[in-house]
Structure 1
């Protein structure tokens, strides 16, 4: 349960226009949450990070 809660916080932002980048293919998504799966290369959410990480 703790792992799931921490993972949810890792992929959620207070900023509606947070930039998330897929570290595999470079696809950039803007939104409050990282996508569950990259629409370009189909890698899971774990391969996405904040483009301009403040954390």
Structure 2
């Protein structure tokens, strides 16, 4: 599995989008913002890769 997807899924499982309190939403936002800015060695996956990944 690509590291970029692995990191994203880890955040999603830790902080699912639904049912979060204000503090948890802020923490999720911080983690996702850091994830977006992180420089991965591999390129972003193509849309087809994401569809296949599901």
TM-score by length of 1: 0.32
Considering Cα pairs closer than 8 Å and 6+ residues apart, tell me whether 1 or 2 has the greater RCO. 2
Structure 1 or 2, whichever has the larger Rg, is: 2
TM-score by length of 2: 0.33
